[in-house]
């Protein structure tokens, strides 16, 4: 019999030294393969399908693979950091955002929860399934024993078991509490980034931001989404920024109107003037016709 350091059990990597790290590495490898298989369908960020559909596809086909088994194998700091890096990188690529984009921006735009919250939801859901099962099962007896021997200063563990009614009620209440907690935390972190001052907050997580959502599948409209998302998150490089941080001589003047420096306040002013001139030109041509 050969001696091995790790083996696979029901899709979870078991190792002698670090099961958490091995499982995280294997999940990332499988999730990357799943993303590669979805490239043909348009899941590749810019010039692909719209961000809302991309996020929905990512949540449906990639997230279950990435999070598989993490409710059983408790992640440590090293494996969690590896999962976070891959998770955030994929969301930024789907939204066509640079790697330097602040983390609160990707969660507000995509409507996704951080990987920590997703793992917590899986653990809480598993606990609810065990506690709502029949009391004669081995899983319920183990959970009952662990709760009874656990020191709890504020609440009685036995009373806690009696308050659990059904799986649906448990999952709905706990998931909502986790979402509310992380939504508030993300909004608090957003205030610390000056680059996100133009990004409007959303009421709750779970749906894409209006900036990343469209009602039509026109490729021309989809191509307009990355620039406005980059502008709202501070990732769009303006001509004035190129002139300020470039060693070479760069003209900060707007390349479209040639009337002033290209800044965030200049762009809407130029678009309003351009729209007025366009409407005037159309009316003049219609009158002459």
pLDDT digits (tens, 9 = 90+) for 145-193: 777 776 655 455 555 555 666 777 777 788 888 888 999 999 998 888 8
- 41 found inside a domain: yes
Is the domain of 29 the same as that of 137?
Answer: yes
Angle, helix 77-94 to helix 103-110, in steps of 10 degrees: 60
278 is in which domain, residue-wise? 237-288
- 227 found inside a domain: no
- 85 found inside a domain: yes
Number of domains observed in the structure of the chain: 2
Is the domain of 284 the same as that of 178?
Answer: no
Among 162, 194, 211, which residue terminates a domain?
211
Is the domain of 24 the same as that of 83?
Answer: yes
Out of 22-31, 151-160, 273-282, pick the least confident. Answer: 273-282
Is the domain of 125 the same as that of 32?
Answer: yes
Q: What distance lies between CA 14 and its chain's CA centroid? A: 28
Give the per-residue pLDDT at 88.
92
- 217 found inside a domain: no
Is the domain of 204 the same as that of 253?
Answer: no
- Across residues 46-74, what is the average pLDDT? 84
- 253 found inside a domain: yes
- 63 found inside a domain: yes
What percentage of the chain has pLDDT greater than the value 70?
74
64-69 contact pairs (CB < 8 A, 24+): 65/27, 65/30, 65/31, 65/34, 66/27, 66/28, 66/30, 66/31, 66/115, 67/27, 67/115, 67/118, 67/119, 67/122, 68/11, 68/12, 68/27, 68/30, 69/10, 69/11, 69/12, 69/23, 69/27
CB neighbour class for 18 (10 Å; exposed up to 12, middle 13-18, buried from 19): middle
Q: Are 111 and 209 in contact (CB under 8 A)?
A: yes
- Across residues 125-141, what is the average pLDDT? 78
Is the domain of 10 the same as that of 143?
Answer: yes
Among 194, 211, 228, which residue terminates a domain?
211
Is the domain of 191 the same as that of 241?
Answer: no
State the chain's mean pLDDT as an integer: 76
- 82 found inside a domain: yes
- pLDDT confidence of 114, banded at 50, 70, 90? very high
Is the domain of 27 the same as that of 166?
Answer: yes
Residue among 115, 8, 133 at smallest CA distance from 67: 115
Is the domain of 25 the same as that of 110?
Answer: yes
How would you label 94-110 residue by residue, b for 16+ Cβ within 10 Å and e otherwise? bbbbeeebbbbbbbbbb
Is the domain of 151 the same as that of 38?
Answer: yes
For the chain, the distance separating the N- and C-terminal CA atoms, rounded to the nearest angstrom, is 90
Phi first, then psi, for residue 256 (nearest 5°) are: -95, -50
Is the domain of 149 the same as that of 262?
Answer: no
Position 238 pLDDT exceeds 60: yes
């Amino acid at each position: 019999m050969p001696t091995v350091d790790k083996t696979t059990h029901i899709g979870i990597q078991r190792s002698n030294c670090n099961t958490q790290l091995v499982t995280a590495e294997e999940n990332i490898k499988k999730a990357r393969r799943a993303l590669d298989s979805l490239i043909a369908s348009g899941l590749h960020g810019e010039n692909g399908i719209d961000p809302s559909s991309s996020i929905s596809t990512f949540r449906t086909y990639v997230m279950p693979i990435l999070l598989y088994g993490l409710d059983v194998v408790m992640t440590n700091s090293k494996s969690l950091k590896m999962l976070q890096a891959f998770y955030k990188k994929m969301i930024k690529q789907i939204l066509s955002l640079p790697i330097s984009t602040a983390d609160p921006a990707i969660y507000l735009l995509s409507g996704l929860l951080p990987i920590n919250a997703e793992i917590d939801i899986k653990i809480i859901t598993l606990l609810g399934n065990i506690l709502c099962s029949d009391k004669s099962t081995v899983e319920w007896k183990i959970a009952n024993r662990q709760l009874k021997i656990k020191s709890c200063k504020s609440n009685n563990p036995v009373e806690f078991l009696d308050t659990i009614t059904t799986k649906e009620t448990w999952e709905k209440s706990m998931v909502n509490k986790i979402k509310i907690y992380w939504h508030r935390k993300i909004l608090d972190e957003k205030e610390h980034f000056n680059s996100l001052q133009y990004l409007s907050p959303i009421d709750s997580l779970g749906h894409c931001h209006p900036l990343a959502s469209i009602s039509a599948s026109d490729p021309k409209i989809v191509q307009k989404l990355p620039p406005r998302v980059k502008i709202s998150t501070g990732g769009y490089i303006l001509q004035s920024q190129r002139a300020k941080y470039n060693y070479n001589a760069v003209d900060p003047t707007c390349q479209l109107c040639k009337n002033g420096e290209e800044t965030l306040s200049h762009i809407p002013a130029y678009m309003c003037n351009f729209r007025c001139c366009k409407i005037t030109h159309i009316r003049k041509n219609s009158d002459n016709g």
